[in-house]
Amino acid sequence: MHEHIDLSSLEFWARPYEDRERAFRWLRDHEPVSWHRPPEPLAPGLENARGFWAIVRYEDIKEISRNAKVFSSAEGVFLDDFPQLETILSFIVMDDPRHLQLRNITQAAFSPRNIRRMEQQIDAMATRIVDEVAPLGDGDLCELVFKQLPGLVFAEVFVGIKDVRRRKVLIDGAEQLGAWADPTYAHIGPPLAVFQDAAQRIMTIAYEEADRCRREPDDNLMSWVVQAQFEGQRMTDAEMGAFFTLLVGASNDTSRHAMAHAVLNLQRHPDQKALLREDFDGRIDSAVEELQRWSPPLMHFRRTALRDVELHGVSIKAGDKVVLWYCSGNRDERAFLEPDRFDILRSPNRHLSFGNGPHYCLGAALGRQMIKSILRQFTNRMPDLEVGEPTMLLSNFMNGVLSLKGSWRQRTTSACAG
């Protein structure tokens, strides 16, 4: 039995990633479906009433993700009970048909085709950021780079916000949204108040920008969203506000952590870093996939069974929480050859870091592009970059890097930027 593995304890999530992976491997081999007590709350005042099933094998995660008729997202998507948070999670916490309608309104803007058209624009933003950072010689890359690029892309490209102060409100709001349980924000109030405060400020900007885009439509996502229809359906104002908040949180937070992990993992695997440098353009696509597999920014999403189901001889009852551990599926020996080997040339590499099925990450292509753009800058302009040990977020959901200090030889020109 799995009693020695307690996914509900905060102590488990405070352990290093590779230690936790050893526990997941045991579960994959011995108890692919295991029951766990209600998770310990992340902060005082947050209570969890219900336990959950842990799904840890690749194929099971994939199949459950694809079957939204049996495994619903509408009852919540976190291991923890956060009904207050989920009210602003837009179509992540919906099932079809409304999920599909809302998603399809925005799908084209985030499609790999559209993101390819934005490649030069995102590269230029990464160049601008590194222009300011390269002369410094050292600093916290999370603060200086990884937090800045997603914020800039989202605010400028997707919403069309030119005003620097408003852009800062969005970037800061996104950070607060992701770190709502962090003591840094305790002065605002208890964790849920911290989250709601950030959501409120972001929604205020959303409504104002929506008004502006209705009056003066431009070539940006917000103008698209306020006008777009799918099968005769538009977003309501409340849905639009929630969607906007979701995008701010999702696009900023997950991307910044993914970029931090990318830099860290390349440093931890110097042979792979050298391999990438040898042929950056030829290897960056597969490298990004392996970086995602190795350190998924989100470690789980949850579903709720809508009817009784049996899986590996275990009876899952209607109403039970079913938690899909992507971090475990990505290391499943049944799906990946030598899963514990970090290999930037791995192919195929159908990892689960962006989920699977109807809720596959809408921003996957954008996330991939931002990682590529920032790694290109670092490879070309800060090749001697060295980072220290990261400060990690304590979370069972976000594989978050709070701080990653680095040093590099000071440079003042972007002339060599590729």
Partner 1 sequence: MEAADHVRLRRVMPSSTNAETTTRWVCESCGFVYDPERGDPDGGIPPGTAFEDIPDNWSCPMCGARKRDFVPAI
Give the interface with partner 1 as residue ranges (CB under 8 A): 62-67, 70-71, 107-108, 111-113, 309-312, 348, 350, 354, 356-358, 360, 364-365
Taking the least distance from each CB to partner 1, the nearer of 274 and 314 is: 314
Q: Which amino acid is at 160?
A: G
CB of 354 to partner 1, least distance (A): 7
CB of 165 to partner 1, least distance (A): 35
CB of 130 to partner 1, least distance (A): 26
- In the chain, the largest separation of any two C-alpha atoms, in whole Å, equals 63
Taking the least distance from each CB to partner 1, the nearer of 323 and 365 is: 365
CB of 105 to partner 1, least distance (A): 12
CB of 254 to partner 1, least distance (A): 16
Taking the least distance from each CB to partner 1, the nearer of 130 and 247 is: 247
Taking the least distance from each CB to partner 1, the nearer of 135 and 348 is: 348
CB of 209 to partner 1, least distance (A): 24
Burial class (CB in 10 A: 0-12, 13-18, 19+), 176: buried
Taking the least distance from each CB to partner 1, the nearer of 65 and 399 is: 65
Residue 129 CA to chain centroid, in angstroms?
21
**Which three-class secondary structure string do you get for the chain?**
CCCCCCCCCHHHHHCCHHHHHHHHHHHHHHCCEEEECCCCCCCCCCCCCCCEEEECCHHHHHHHHHCCCCEECCCCCCCCCCHHHHCCCHHHHCCCCHHHHHHHHHHHHHCHHHHHHCHHHHHHHHHHHHHHHHHHCEEEHHHHHHCHHHHHHHHHHHHCCCCHHHHHHHHHHHHHHHCCCCHHHHHHCCHHHHHHHHHHHHHHHHHHHHHHHHHCCCCCHHHHHHHCCECCECCCHHHHHHHHHHHHHHHHHHHHHHHHHHHHHHHHCHHHHHHHHHCHHHHHHHHHHHHHHHCCCECEEEEEECCCEEECCEEECCCCEEEEEHHHHCCCCCCCCCCCCCCCCCCCCCCCCCCCHHHCCCCHHHHHHHHHHHHHHHHHHCCCCEECCCEECCCCCECCEEECEEECCCCCCCCCCC
Taking the least distance from each CB to partner 1, the nearer of 151 and 355 is: 355
> How many angstroms separate the CA atoms of 54 and 38, rounded?
12
Taking the least distance from each CB to partner 1, the nearer of 222 and 365 is: 365
In sequence order, the β-bridge partners of residue 315 are 310
Taking the least distance from each CB to partner 1, the nearer of 113 and 165 is: 113
CB of 71 to partner 1, least distance (A): 8
CB of 52 to partner 1, least distance (A): 18
Taking the least distance from each CB to partner 1, the nearer of 83 and 112 is: 112
Taking the least distance from each CB to partner 1, the nearer of 325 and 354 is: 354
CB of 123 to partner 1, least distance (A): 18
Taking the least distance from each CB to partner 1, the nearer of 217 and 358 is: 358
CB of 15 to partner 1, least distance (A): 30
CB of 160 to partner 1, least distance (A): 22
